[in-house]
Structure 1
Amino acid sequence: MSHLIEITDSHCHLDFDSFDTERDEIVARAIDAGVTRMVTICTELHKEPYVRAISERYASVFYAAGTHPMNVTDEYMTTVDELVTLSKHPKFVGIGETGLDYHYTAESADVQKQSLRVHIEAARETGLPLIIHARAADEDMARILTEEYNNGAYTCVMHCFSSSVELAKAALDLGFYLSMSGITAFPKSQELRDIFSAAPVDRVLVETDAPYLAPPPYRGKRNEPAYSVHTAQKGAEVFGMDWPAFAAQTQINFDRLFSKAALYQVAA
């Protein structure tokens, strides 16, 4: 049996309906592909018990929870205390996803900002990484992340990063991480690949955002954690590294940022 190169899908949505009929098989396919850990993200806090149960069902699955910026008008406003309480679960490893989305939901910008700051304070208090969704809101995002960091340090990953070089620089200057999704592997994403290639390789993660954004050769189909291997292989090309070395580096990066997941693995 050949040795599998191991990576982590740092952001997926295993609770989504499109996985309901074959969740066991999807997790098994990921493990068979070398994706030994997955972080499934709760985007609506009323669904947190269900997402938590998924993480409890599978040894390889961890979870994070928060209110997605596109959901802020449909969900109650969470509190720092609520997020801190949720974070006590042994497999709860991140705060979010949270952030700003002015592409689809600019009308709720003020509420999004309020929610974002609540999540940042929870990340600060728990020491868990903040998971950021940013779309069409680069200026406000960079400003708020920087303002809040100056009020007290916290860690953060810019999930599914596909924003401007200016936002990438602002995030990296704060010591944050950028996460590669399948978008990075799209043929027309050279500008995005250039942003990643200029970033420190020790500040890069890989993800699927499954069921969205499947990389080639699965583009246009439902994404799943196993496909993060294809994004990671493109990442190796972007950084001019061989595949095993890049995969190993992303594992080190994940363990550093998501240290609670890394420690859970050691203790298990």
Structure 2
Amino acid sequence: MSGTVSVALRASIRYVDIGINLSDLQYSGVYHGRKVHDDDRLHVLDRALQTNVTKMLVTSSSLHEAADVLNLCTRLAKESPSYHNLLYSTVGVHPCQALDLTESQSRHNMSSAEYIAQMDELIHKGISLGIVKAFGEIGLDYDRLHFADKEAQILAFKMQLDLAAKHNLPLFLHSRAAAHDFKTILEPYLAKITRGGVVHSFTGTVEEMQELLDLGLYIGINGCSLKTEENLAVVRALPLSRLMLETDGPWCEIRPSHASFKLHLAALESRPQKPSSLLPYPLVKKEKFTPGSMISGRCEPCAIGLVAQVVASVKELSLEEVALAAYQNSVDLFGLEEPQNID
């Protein structure tokens, strides 16, 4: 294959995927509550390594998931030298899961204060292992108020920012259709959270991006950040010094309906397939899974080069320039050069 594949596999290029939901059940072969194929996480990780993904930040959306993710990262690092210093994690409650914190008494028979205390304990443990590198995924999502209303989201956001200030971990942030409230709540805390953070999977306007840059934050770009021409304008205006790359797998793949798809058409040539077909792996439906195959519609870290290629095309820069900037930004913010302590 040519085009994106050849450049994505250059040995000189390294990637950090700052957002991968590795604990998602799709990587266990479970879709909509139904077991379809075997767990293939190790294949997912091996494909990532083969496509020059050398660091991954595994995100979490609740206390329970954060504990599971920390255990997963620790176990995999112990099982194989290939996975040592590869997987890092976050601790935080996603805005769509805000009720897990604000209604913890009815859900988990513990007060919100006890919930926060357990998060605090988990963060201490994860930091001592050299695995927990960010506080998140936290923020506001007004597009999905059916999961948690504004009041609950704002309360959970503030409670977690109070804890984040104690640890001064970089923030892994989420903002959807909530730019004003997001900035108003976050800005005062940044005087204490001096390491800043990244607003991942950014889909806002150029003006909203600039407000975040003015706060000293980074911007995470994935397939969902590349859907529309307005999204591409944001990428065009985003300084390399504030860029990070991610897949947000198993979500946020680049699709034929996205504005960014046309930037891959030359490499796709005459094949009416998805950009993921540019990767050197079999692409099959989940029902036809075979070991080593990618699943159609399920995004993986190995696809991060496709995101990088779009960013490079939009900004009229080389892939190497884009990849190097995003890599260094990610390593510097999260401290990913520090060795893990899992022995």
State TM-score, norm by structure 1.
0.90
Q: Is the 8 A contact 1:11 1:208 kept in 2?
A: yes
Structure 2 counterpart of 1:242? 318
- Aligned pair 1:11/2:19, yes or no? yes
- Aligned pair 1:263/2:338, yes or no? yes
2-side partners of 1:64 and 1:121: how far apart? 16
Per the alignment, do residues 143 and 2 of structure 1 end up closer, same or farther by CA in structure 2, a change over 3 Å counting? Answer: closer
Structure 2 counterpart of 1:52? 70
Structure 1 counterpart of 2:58? 40
Larger RCO: Structure 1 or Structure 2 (Cα < 8 Å, ≥ 6 residues apart)? Answer: 2
- Aligned pair 1:170/2:246, yes or no? no
The secondary structure found in structure 2 opposite 1:105 is coil
Shift of 1:148: 2.6
Q: Is the 8 A contact 1:54 1:61 kept in 2?
A: no
The secondary structure found in structure 1 opposite 2:299 is coil
Q: How many residues align?
A: 265
Structure 1 counterpart of 2:264? none
Per the alignment, do residues 235 and 158 of structure 1 end up closer, same or farther by CA in structure 2, a change over 3 Å counting? Answer: same
Superposed, 1:105-120 pairs within 5 Å as 105=145, 108-120=149-161
Within the candidate set 129, 137, 154, 1:97 is matched to: 137
Letter matched to residue 227 of structure 1: A
Structure 2 counterpart of 1:254? 330
Within the candidate set 205, 208, 215, 2:254 is matched to: 215
1:92-144 deviations in Å (ceiling 9; x for gaps): 00001011111111662112112112222333222211111111111111211
Letter matched to residue 16 of structure 1: D
- Aligned pair 1:126/2:167, yes or no? yes
Per the alignment, do residues 74 and 121 of structure 1 end up closer, same or farther by CA in structure 2, a change over 3 Å counting? Answer: closer
Q: Is the 8 A contact 1:124 1:154 kept in 2?
A: no
Who wins on radius of gyration, i.e. which is larger? 2
Shift of 1:81: 4.5
Note the aligned Cα RMSD (angstroms).
2.5
Shift of 1:74: 3.4
1:236-255 deviations in Å (ceiling 9; x for gaps): 22222211121111111001
State TM-score, norm by structure 2.
0.71
Gaps of 5+ in 1: none
Structure 1 counterpart of 2:98? 72
Letter matched to residue 46 of structure 1: H
